[in-house]
Structure 1
C-alpha cells in the first residue's frame, strides 16, 4: 500500500492515507463550496485513513444543502483537507488531494462531477459504496 500524507497548511489537521490507487484520480465537484475551494476529492473504499487533530477546538464542521456531509475546515489556516459523513453509525470520508504533501496537478486525473438533483438516499448509497470507511480519528463525530 502507498502511504500519503495529507494536511491543512498549518498542520493542525493531519491525515495519513494508505491505499493502492491504480492512478491518482480525483473528483472536482461543481458545487459552489468545492469550486470556491478548488477541492479535488479522492477516496477508495479499500483505503485506510488516520486522522489526527492537534487542536480539535480549531476545527469547524461546515454543512450546507442536504446537510449530509461535514466539510472539516481548519479555523487556523482555512484549509479543507477532508469531508466526512456518518451513515448508519459508520464514519466515511473523502480526502482533498490539494492538501497532499506531494501534490502535483500533472499527476492527477481529474473527473468533473455534478451531484445536483441527486436525492438523499442515492447520495448516501453512493458515499457508502465509494468513500473511505476504515478510519481512525482523534476527532469525535
Structure 2
C-alpha cells in the first residue's frame, strides 16, 4: 500500500491517501461539472485503498453541497482550499482526494476529462460506492 499525505494551505485539513496504485499509474480525473472546472479539480480514488481526512479545527471545515446534495465538498474556511468530495452512505463513507493538496502532486499524471452530468441519484450513489475510496473523517485532533 502506498501512502500520500497532503493538506490544505494552512494545514487545518489533513489528508492521508492510501492506495494500491503507483502515482505514475493513477487514473486522475477532471470532472467536467461547473463546480470542478471552476476549482481546476484533479481527483483521485482507489476502491482498494483508504482516505483519512482530519479537520484539526472542526469549526473551520466547510461542507458545500449542490445538486442532489448527497456529497459534501470539503473546504477549509481558513484558507479556502478544496481537499475532497465526501459521501456518507449509512455507516460507510466514500471520498476522493484532490491531487493538488498532496505533497507529491507532481508525481501524478495529467487528468482525463470525466463528464458525469446527467447521472441519476442512484447512478451517482452506485458509482461512488464502486469507484471512490473508503474514507474516514475525524473532527478534532
TM-score by length of 1: 0.91
Name 2:6's counterpart in structure 1: 6
Name 1:116's counterpart in structure 2: 117
What do the CA deviations read for 1:11-62 (whole angstroms, capped 9, x no partner)? 1000111112151221101111111111101100111222221111001100
Q: How many Å separate the matches in 1 of 2:67 and 2:103?
A: 30
Task: Give the CA RMSD over aligned residues.
Answer: 1.6
CA 7–30 in structure 1, closer or farther in 2 if over 3 Å, else same: same
What do the CA deviations read for 1:58-101 (whole angstroms, capped 9, x no partner)? 01100001111100010011101111012233111100001111
Runs of 4+ with deviation above 4 angstroms: none
Q: Which runs of 5+ in 1 are unaligned?
A: none
Name 1:29's counterpart in structure 2: 31
1:138 is the counterpart of 2:135: no
CA contact (8 A) 2:6 2:16 kept: yes
Task: Find 1:42's aligned residue among 41, 44, 55.
Answer: 44
TM-score by length of 2: 0.91
